[in-house]
Structure 1
Amino acid sequence: MGNELTDKAFWANYWESKKGLAFPVPANYTFHKLLKQVVTENKVETAIELGGFPGYYAIFLKKYLGLKTTLFDFYVHQKVLKEVLTANDLTEKDIAVIEGDLFKYEANETYDLVLSCGLIEHFNDTKDIIARHLTFLKPGGTLLITLPNFTGVNGWVQRKYDMGNYEKHNISSMNPQLLAGYCKELGLKNVEAYYYGKFSIWLENMAEQSGLAKAFLKLLWLTGKMATKIVPVESKGLSPYIVVKAIK
């Protein structure tokens, strides 16, 4: 079996099927607090988002934090990209775009921040895909990786209601201790890896679910939200994400 759990055809179909992609990225977009903290603490001026099409985080970093940003992805749907940029009052000149294969591309530029959100879990060799981030990172630069946590309640939801999507993810990669260990083996410093966020669940195919399933999932979502409001802990069972931070 190859390293990739998805291929170009999968992503072409994925983006063709998605609706509502072109929206103004808000100032409180997912991970906004984390991104602002990293940029401020590490004096970040340039950033690249790997596997990030259609580039919401590259847009966020450009739009709200004034960074010079680049989007790198295996597949770039030009029509969708233009629509998303237009919705954010940006053009192709505002964000550099590279369409390429991480396993073949030779980086000719390095960045203060290398970011990926929801990328590494689509590959079988987790340490290898993390290492490929580092070819884009300046010495002293910051690596920031986020990935979904499918080892708790959200994972049960995925298995129960969208096994096809669940199988596109390397569940063994969703382990903060393992991820921190890989980063240290790759020579990174100041490594942090932890569960992130209060309770949440989601489904890529929510619109296709029955009314009964939608009602149950809404109830589950509300119950989890209330529980983590009372006891605001971030944990393997309830947190929707995992975050990895390190310095090269």
Structure 2
Amino acid sequence: MMPTSVDRATRSFWQNHWTGRAAPRGFDPSDRTLANYVNSRFHQYFRHTLGHRGGALIELGCAQSTWLPYFARQFGFRVTGLDYSEVGCARAREMLDDVGVVGDVVCADMFNPPDKFEAAFDAVVSFGLIEHFEDTAAAVTAAARFVAPGGRMLTFVPNMVGLPGAIQRYVDRAIFDIHVPLDVDALRSAHEASGLTVVDCHYFILANWHVVNASRLARGWASYPYRAAVAGSSRLAWALEKHLIKNGANRLTSPYVVCVADKNP
């Protein structure tokens, strides 16, 4: 995550957050099992929105990223990551090294990046970054500076205005409070204010209750009912969307909001 005077999280939060965390595993886009449903949906979406582009890609807020190796291997992007957490950046480099992918990870501020990053990337992506800043439009405008003319930006944020946000507030209010709840209209407006042309802005996937950060719940048997409910209801939603509903994304239950926006050539 990136620093600014209006960052709700703070740098120390992210340093502590990434310290001692187990490295996530990458995923196989060809795995069509239900357990891999969310990853498969992301892969399909990226094939549609980025698959024909190629060139240079930067992930803003790249701490411990599984996405940088993914974009390099699946789409041939030259990948760069930027984050202001030294621990998070070190983890991102490890993720690249572990799979033998060449990429650049820079520990810097999104609001004050290296000059060479100005309008330098054909694709700019972020996952759970923009919603941590009080001034959403200012954060999106800062991110848009990285986009080259004719380039595209994809912004994913958690859906804190629907049930995922309500559950997060109940399970861990402190985590909820470091997010600015954004719906489709707010995210679209912030991108339009940055000067980008919005291609699409919508809720994504029917449900995925794993998006709720429940790390403060007691481990072991005490938390088993909650974790079992999360796993079971998520899998049920994935099965429904995969076989019956097809596109059930909505304001109430969807885990993510995504905005796709282009910079004029």
Shift of 1:62: 0.6
Number of the residue aligned with 1:10:
13
Any idea what SS the aligned residue of 1:4 has? coil
The two structures have a TM-score, normalised by structure 2, of 0.81
Shift of 1:135: 1.4
Q: For residues 220 and 82 of structure 1, do their structure 2 counterparts lie closer, same or farther at Cα, with a shift above 3 Å needed? A: same
Number of the residue aligned with 1:246:
261
CA deviation string 1:1-51 (max 9, x = no partner): 9310112211111011422x153343364622222222234x231110001
Q: For residues 89 and 128 of structure 1, do their structure 2 counterparts lie closer, same or farther at Cα, with a shift above 3 Å needed? A: same
The two structures have a TM-score, normalised by structure 1, of 0.86
Number of the residue aligned with 1:83:
94
Q: How does 1:1-248 map to 2 (within 5 A)?
A: 2-19=5-22, 21-27=23-29, 29=39, 31-41=42-52, 43-77=53-87, 79-90=90-101, 94-109=102-117, 110-171=120-181, 174-202=182-210, 203-206=212-215, 208=218, 210-222=223-235, 224-225=237-238, 228=241, 230-232=244-246, 233-248=248-263
Gaps of 5+ in 2: 31-38
Any idea what SS the aligned residue of 2:69 has? helix
CA separation in 2, counterparts of 1:51 and 1:79?
13
C-alpha contact 1:24 1:88 (8 A) present in aligned 2: no
CA deviation string 1:162-212 (max 9, x = no partner): 2221111111xx211122122223222243210011211123335635233
Q: For residues 169 and 127 of structure 1, do their structure 2 counterparts lie closer, same or farther at Cα, with a shift above 3 Å needed? A: same
Number of the residue aligned with 2:35:
none
CA separation in 2, counterparts of 1:167 and 1:221?
24
Q: Bigger shift: 232-241 or 215-224?
A: 215-224
Identity of aligned residues (%): 23
CA separation in 2, counterparts of 1:22 and 1:176?
29
Shift of 1:127: 0.2
CA deviation string 1:129-158 (max 9, x = no partner): 000012111111101111111222212221
Shift of 1:68: 0.5
CA separation in 2, counterparts of 1:81 and 1:144?
20
Any idea what SS the aligned residue of 1:104 has? coil
The count of residues paired between Structure 1 and Structure 2 equals 241
Any idea what SS the aligned residue of 2:228 has? helix
Q: Structure 1: which amino acid aligns with 2:86? A: V
Q: Structure 2: which amino acid aligns with 1:205? A: A
C-alpha contact 2:59 2:81 (8 A) present in aligned 1: yes
Q: Bigger shift: 230-239 or 217-226?
A: 217-226
C-alpha contact 1:22 1:80 (8 A) present in aligned 2: no
C-alpha contact 2:57 2:77 (8 A) present in aligned 1: yes
CA separation in 2, counterparts of 1:83 and 1:22?
11
Q: For residues 83 and 96 of structure 1, do their structure 2 counterparts lie closer, same or farther at Cα, with a shift above 3 Å needed? A: closer
Any idea what SS the aligned residue of 2:131 has? helix
CA separation in 2, counterparts of 1:73 and 1:146?
16
CA separation in 1, counterparts of 2:152 and 2:54?
8
CA separation in 2, counterparts of 1:113 and 1:62?
12
CA separation in 1, counterparts of 2:29 and 2:240?
26
CA separation in 1, counterparts of 2:93 and 2:27?
14
